[in-house]
Homo-oligomer: A and B are copies of this chain.
């Protein structure tokens, strides 16, 4: 199952949508050029194609195994992980201060895509480590940073997030794991955590668990949670792993997909934990890690979609079946000639490129929010935070669609496991669930980012979208047609926002019944906006005679997106403004009797 990193498209997005000029003008990044970026990604792409993409089928058929004590991944994973660390790829997205490559976040996003296209199961381990690094960077003490960051950034140690417990999934306020302070200032952590991705394995020398737990006198609910570092091996003064800590793997899950990625049940039995920041602020710190992880999981959606698209396109260009419907030939032609196969391929392509555009654009804003001037940060941060749940949910929900289309294009072959595309369909299914389900992302968007400021930020974003429309309207007939579709989508968003803000005072159920529809509408619109900007950039290049084939394809893909996908915004508006009368009809009161 070969994979080739789509460097051309990635670079187009980085150059035109990631606020590249602003970001690279920052002191942190002042030396980086597009050529540098391309060289890095090209090298990483080659490594991933040759080494990681080879793991996909092995990981699926062998899976990770628990022997009662250790979790063993297929040997090929260990070899690949060692190479990944040795070549320094874990450090790619991290600050230079603790050994990171110090590259812009858009490059990190691109690398995450490439790695996860190559293998979602493998990609999860570095992804979680990235989240742990982000959390320690922002909330860890200087001593903690000194003790853990370098080894995490190098990939010699890996990180995990320990939130979920059997009774506490989306509702983290129900977390029961206890942490009682010891005399030496450390904490004794006890409890059971479930669904811990890479919670146990032998790939790395140590595993640094970040654990949500409750101190003895903490208030009930989410405001009584504290965050602890619980290393698998306690770290000695010289910085090397020492004694085994009181955290053990009880079992790993038998899952629909990402079978090589071990999903552990961990038992903490008076494990030694180190408080991060202050007590009872754990959820706030964990949100840093979750924000990072949510963004990266969104990119996983793009990644698996890209992989599925590459397979479907290759098959469609090879498989011959039936003469063309326009009778231009008598013999059977490749199925890529047939209208509905083309429709499916373009749907996949448009969703992949659209998701990539949105994630790269968001990466640029996250960068400005973190590393920019106060003014830059003030502008970029709220928009970036608005976009993160869109990246997470739009890209992962669409990954289900894209991987399903990938199966469909293969016909009967798609259902045969050896073909490999069914695995993408299975692997992708976790993406809209973990790191906060789509409904949780929708609550975040609607509650915190739309209702709280009565739609003010949404309106600011719409002003920017309107500017893109205006520019498009002085372009080619295709650009003008695109602008009209974008305008209709934006108006559907505006009408929906007005309706939601208006209803919020009266009946909150009515409003939240539209939470996922508004999230999907916003994601779709945000992608359409990026495609609008892409058309502007592509037309400028074509006018200069630069790489016209690539840029014409970008414009055509954008047009397909507008005609087939962006039009769904008006549908979502209809669903939102229908309200919750039917959803909360008396006839369904039985739904909630238990």
Contacts and interface: CB of A to CB of B under 8 A. Distances in A.
Interface of A: 164, 167, 169-171, 173-174, 194-195, 253-257, 313, 316-318, 320-322, 325-327, 332-334, 336-343, 345-346, 400, 404, 407-408, 411-412, 414-418, 422, 425-426, 429-430, 432-434, 437-439, 442-443, 507-509, 512-513, 515-516, 549, 552-553, 555-557, 559-560, 563-564, 567-568, 570-571, 574-575, 578, 580-588, 591-594
Given A567-B571, A567-B574, A433 B404 contact: no
B408 A437 contact: yes
A591 B256 contact: no
Contacts of A257: 415
11 contacts: A169-B412, A254-B417, A254-B418, A256-B422, A313-B591, A339-B580, A342-B584, A415-B429, A426-B426, A560-B582, A570-B571
B555 A587 contact: yes
A174 B332 contact: yes
Given A429-B415, A567-B574, A508 B340 contact: no
Given A408-B437, A563-B578, A339 B583 contact: yes
Contacts of A591: 313, 316-317, 336, 342, 345
Tally of this chain's copies: 2
B594 A582 contact: no
A417 B340 contact: no
B342 A411 contact: no
B340 A515 contact: yes
Given A346-B588, A516-B343, A571-B567, A433 B408 contact: yes
A334 B591 CA distance: 9
Contact of A509 (B255, B316, B325, B442): B325
Given A256-B415, A317-B594, 6 more contacts: A253-B416, A255-B417, A339-B509, A342-B513, A415-B429, A556-B585
* Majority secondary structure, A binding face: helix
* Residue among A174, A336, A585 having the largest count of chain B Cβ atoms under 10 Å: A585
Nearest to A516: B340
Contacts of A256: 407, 415-417, 422, 425-426
A569 B171 CA distance: 37
A253 B413 CA distance: 10
B567 A582 contact: no
The 10 A-B residue pairs with the shortest CB-CB distance, nearest first, are: A563-B578, A556-B585, A560-B582, A556-B587, A340-B439, A339-B512, A256-B422, A317-B594, A553-B587, A171-B322
Contacts of A549: 587
B438 A255 contact: no
A442 B340 contact: yes
A338 to B, nearest CB: 7
B559 A169 contact: no
Given A257-B415, A411-B433, A415-B429, A334 B585 contact: no
A400 B404 contact: yes
Question: Which of A337, A338, A434, A593 has the most CB atoms of chain B within a 10 A radius of its CB?
Answer: A338
Contacts of A346: 582-583, 588
Contacts of A575: 563-564, 567
Contact of A411 (B170, B316, B414, B417): B170
A135 to B, nearest CB: 21
Contacts of A563: 574-575, 578, 582
A356 to B, nearest CB: 18
B317 A411 contact: no
A240 to B, nearest CB: 35
B255 A321 contact: no
